[in-house]
């Protein structure tokens, strides 16, 4: 138990709470402590009955059963693995990472209400995985059965994999598109194309979650490891996104 506790405490804070909620909420529904009917995102209940908790519970809930348990565990692993890596890559700036999650979540909730999606867990996980894959696009990653390929293809490989084991790609596709929107507005448009910064972390998040290493407020500034890679490429001008960066570099 001590080893499990040490492992859990070693997870970055935001990922740790997200992971815990994604374990606890399905367990509560499975045990019948709360009816799963109150955990789904139902547009009518949210919009007309003012059941405002539904977008939150639908983000953490997943109906675990004989036919869905493997898919749930796979995505729980993706949450732990890639949210941990991406939060670490934000280099002591938890407010910026939390804002990324909130931006992606709001986009997914709006899409879910529009498309009558009842579960939002997989889209949010995939949006984070997509951002990580783009920031590390040339890193070679390993997947099932020893297959190896560039990280930029990982979200689409997982989309195909989840289609095989789950039979649908809507959740994964929406997650990838939302992740692409965030990556484009935060990095590619202001840094590659010289556009304005449309995203900016609210100051109250910095007061709530102050940067631990100084950091740089506002979006349009990549994680520190990417800034170092850009400086090594001569600074200024267009950025070589294809080089990516290795998480946790000091």
Is residue 234, in this structure, part of any structural domain at all?
no
pLDDT score at 213: 62
pLDDT score at 1: 61
Is residue 242, in this structure, part of any structural domain at all?
no
The CATH number assigned to the domain holding 51 equals: 1.20.1540.10
pLDDT score at 100: 97
Instruction: Name the least confident of 119-128, 180-189, 211-220.
Output: 211-220
Segment 149-179, tens digit of pLDDT: 999 999 999 898 878 876 778 999 999 999 9
Is residue 240, in this structure, part of any structural domain at all?
no
Number of folded domains that form the chain? 1
d(CA 46, CA 112): 11
Please tell me which residue, 192 or 38, carries the higher pLDDT value: 38
Is residue 88, in this structure, part of any structural domain at all?
yes
Angle of helix 170-183 relative to helix 121-135, nearest 10 degrees? Answer: 40
Instruction: Name the least confident of 60-69, 130-139, 224-233.
Output: 224-233
Segment 47-99, tens digit of pLDDT: 888 899 999 999 999 999 888 898 899 999 999 999 999 999 987 899 999 99
Find, among 14, 34, 9, the residue nearest to 24 by Cα: 34
Is residue 105, in this structure, part of any structural domain at all?
yes
Give the pair of three-digit tokens for residue 136.
């590390």
Q: Residue 99: give the domain boundaries.
A: 3-208
pLDDT score at 64: 92
pLDDT score at 139: 93
Whether the per-residue pLDDT at 144 is higher than 90: the answer is no
Is residue 159, in this structure, part of any structural domain at all?
yes
Prediction pTM value: 0.83
pLDDT score at 108: 97
The Cβ of residue 128 has, within 10 Å, a number of other Cβ atoms equal to 26
pLDDT score at 48: 83
List of long-range contacts for 226-232, beta carbons under 8 Å, 24+ apart: 226/89, 226/135
């Amino acid at each position: 138990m001590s080893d499990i506790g040490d492992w859990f405490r070693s997870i970055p804070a935001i990922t740790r709470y997200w992971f815990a909620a994604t374990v606890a909420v399905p367990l509560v529904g499975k045990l019948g402590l709360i009816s799963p009917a109150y955990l789904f995102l139902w547009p009518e209940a949210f919009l007309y009955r003012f059941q405002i908790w539904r977008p939150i519970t639908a983000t953490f809930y997943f109906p675990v059963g004989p036919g869905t348990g493997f898919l749930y565990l796979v995505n729980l692993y993706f949450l732990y693995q890639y949210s941990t890596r991406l939060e670490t890559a934000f280099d002591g700036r938890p407010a910026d990472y939390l804002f990324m999650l909130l931006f992606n979540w709001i986009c997914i909730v709006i899409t879910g209400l529009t498309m009558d999606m009842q579960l939002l867990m997989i889209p949010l996980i995939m949006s984070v995985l997509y951002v990580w894959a783009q920031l590390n696009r040339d890193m070679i990653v390993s997947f099932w059965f020893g297959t190896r390929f560039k990280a930029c293809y990982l979200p689409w490989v997982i989309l195909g994999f989840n289609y095989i084991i789950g039979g649908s790609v809507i959740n994964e596709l929406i997650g990838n598109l939302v992740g692409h929107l965030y990556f484009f507005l935060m990095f590619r448009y202001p840094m590659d194309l010289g556009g304005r910064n449309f995203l900016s972390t609210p100051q109250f998040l910095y007061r709530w979650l102050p940067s631990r290493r100084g950091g740089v407020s506002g979006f349009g500034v990549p994680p520190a490891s990417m800034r170092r890679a850009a400086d090594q490429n001569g600074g200024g001008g267009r950025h070589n996104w294809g080089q990516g960066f290795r998480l946790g570099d000091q």
